[in-house]
Structure 1
């Protein structure tokens, strides 16, 4: 009846008066006139159209609620907790984004300031070596003071590695954004439970541990003894599945399981191992540059202190020490070697996360749909399904680790 009333009101609202008919006639858009002669023909059409729309929407709603009856009335407490977590995750996205920009500015400003101080000190040392008397003494003291200041700033900058800090915050902002989207999707299309709340909490805390915001006490080690992949996901408790029961179900097959095992093998021996190797090289380079910079500015300070004696070695140290320190500082922080190391470490962590995800689906009773999971793995590696299967087939034909030629990922 409500739909009939709506349709009737719609028809009445569309019956034009004599004045409105005159306006319609003058309008540039020509609309058909509704008169008393054809009203009896058009009214049933309008009513039927609206009734069909109402029935269609009711049918859609009944179809959704029949598939998931509890979706209409989800647990209010669970939804409140998920919305609370979602709010905190959104806040963390902004925090990491803003702090990442701030720390990137640190890198630029400190690099410019230290290079300016160092080159000014080297210039003063050169002028002091060429003159004598009171001006020489003043320039020598100024040069030595600036070298000492540059050395102190360099030690602090090499300790915190601003470019690496900025990369950590960029990664954290991206991963928190990904978690935010995941929670929104879960709220929109599923019926969340307490286990979903606990899982979201664990992911937030794992990301907080992997990418801490403070510098004092909890800052990540910038020069670790051994390069390890970044870990930003919570460890799952696995419940081993029974292969003879769970194979050939939920989109899984023997061939798909073998394909996933070969992908794990390629990720382990090629992709992850390669980025860990590159990370080791970047770490060694960063260590060497972090030691060389303060040493060179310190030598420049020593050279400046002995300029009054007109020793040639003092002049060489005072001038060349500053020039070489500026070059080293530019290579290290201008080239953002710390950021490169963090990028390699994060890439290795991404491949380890993929390994854990595949192993979890192979070993646990509760699996994702096999076809959907295969597509997700292919997209994460930047490949089509056929290319992913070709990589697995090439790996299975070469049992030796050193025989594998192609990397699993085409993204990076």
Structure 2
């Protein structure tokens, strides 16, 4: 009688799902047979699963629950994860990724072009200067005096004008800017892809990605006229290429404990790391950047000044004055040496590298400070994950990072150890 009553309660939709149920049982049996072949042992997974499904069906029948859908008991036991992402948000993030990928190619190509500028202009200017110096020396023999004198003067003036332009734009520094931009845009591309792969991105992710793209565009402009960065600033400041920082809570980690991985010891450690970054690493690169900038200014002025003197001396060759010959030849040779040191040694590139390194440490400071300022630890980035990121960025292990913070707190300002081991 119980079986008859049960058969009367069973609704028709449950019968419609029997074929799907049989297909799932066949898949389970096939998987079990494969495991038998591999392990050589009989697994009772099929029996356990079938028994569990029968118990679920019997419970629904006795409780009088009516299932009006075609969902099988297997699907109710193991529901598929739901994707709550907005398709428009995904589409917008993919559009930003395409724009970022295009910027990577643009900065890469323009960086190579500007690096070629540096080598080609340096070779051309040195060749012109040495040729003009040779002409000035030959003009003392008397043969073709007027032609040699005019030619050397013209070449010196041409070299002066080209040097003024080259020293203004600093091609080696421009190439370094594009290399930095290429690396940072690649990093942003990977960040966006990680957000998409992690699942459930929001409109805040789209807004943050847009802000990062625009911040990089402002920090490393492609155009030369009007938007080019000042190559000889009055004060040396760290490069800034990031948007205002927002604390991104690590999904799935915030609930591990009440403090989200943070405690008093970790906060004290991060404060000490921030102090070392500010007082040692960042200040050291700013100091080196000031020296590189000062040297670059002296060389940028000396080169055109020497070629101008050489042009002035070559113009008075043949008037019975030996000083004109000496000035034309010696000033031209010295100008070649100065240009080789400035652009062959890529002093502008070295300055930009120091400025970028100082910006890297400033970014780390702001990241640590933004987490420490957040009163609600649940809204911070997970403490354990954040500590690991800081350690990797400084080229240290977590134990070395803790040791650095401990030594810094004991020695204070006497501590001469830098935070970074990478550069």
TM-score, normalised via structure 2 length: 0.80
| Matched residue, 1:235 | 244
Distance in 1 between residues matched to 2:348 and 2:149, nearest whole Å? 34
Cα deviation digits, residues 133-182 of structure 1 (max 9, x gap):
5x111111110000000000000000000000000000000000000000
Q: What is the SS of the residue equivalent to 1:308? A: coil
Cα deviation digits, residues 79-124 of structure 1 (max 9, x gap):
1111110110011111101110010000010011001101111111
Residue 136 (structure 1) aligned with residue 145 (structure 2): yes
What is the number of equivalent residue pairs in this alignment? 359
Residue 2 (structure 1) aligned with residue 11 (structure 2): no
CA 385–153 in structure 1, closer or farther in 2 if over 3 Å, else same: same
| Matched residue, 1:284 | 294
Distance in 1 between residues matched to 2:131 and 2:380, nearest whole Å? 64
| Matched residue, 1:393 | 406
Greater mean alpha carbon deviation, residues 356-365 or residues 373-382? 356-365
2:108 pairs, out of 82, 91, 97, with 97
Distance in 2 between residues matched to 1:63 and 1:9, nearest whole Å? 21
Distance in 2 between residues matched to 1:398 and 1:203, nearest whole Å? 38
CA 310–376 in structure 1, closer or farther in 2 if over 3 Å, else same: same
CA 381–9 in structure 1, closer or farther in 2 if over 3 Å, else same: closer
Distance in 1 between residues matched to 2:234 and 2:136, nearest whole Å? 38
Gaps of 5+ in 2: 1-21, 51-73, 248-256
Distance in 2 between residues matched to 1:333 and 1:124, nearest whole Å? 25
Alpha-carbon distance, 1:50 to partner: 12
| Matched residue, 2:161 | 152
The 5 A counterparts of 1:366-405 are 366-399=379-412, 401=413, 403-405=414-416
The 5 A counterparts of 1:3-402 are 62=78, 65=81, 69=82, 72-129=83-140, 131-133=141-143, 135-236=144-245, 249-364=259-374, 365=376, 366-399=379-412, 401=413
Distance in 1 between residues matched to 2:325 and 2:45, nearest whole Å? 94
TM-score, normalised via structure 1 length: 0.82
CA 398–139 in structure 1, closer or farther in 2 if over 3 Å, else same: same
Distance in 1 between residues matched to 2:94 and 2:307, nearest whole Å? 53
Alpha-carbon distance, 1:8 to partner: 10
Alpha-carbon distance, 1:395 to partner: 1.0
Distance in 2 between residues matched to 1:249 and 1:234, nearest whole Å? 27
Distance in 2 between residues matched to 1:387 and 1:236, nearest whole Å? 27
Alpha-carbon distance, 1:184 to partner: 0.3
Gaps of 5+ in 1: 11-40, 239-246
Alpha-carbon distance, 1:49 to partner: 12
CA 283–63 in structure 1, closer or farther in 2 if over 3 Å, else same: farther
Alpha-carbon distance, 1:236 to partner: 3.6
CA 63–323 in structure 1, closer or farther in 2 if over 3 Å, else same: farther
Distance in 1 between residues matched to 2:44 and 2:258, nearest whole Å? 47
Alpha-carbon distance, 1:221 to partner: 0.3
Query: RMSD between aligned alpha carbons?
Result: 2.7
Cα deviation digits, residues 296-350 of structure 1 (max 9, x gap):
0000100110002131110111101110000000000000000000000000000
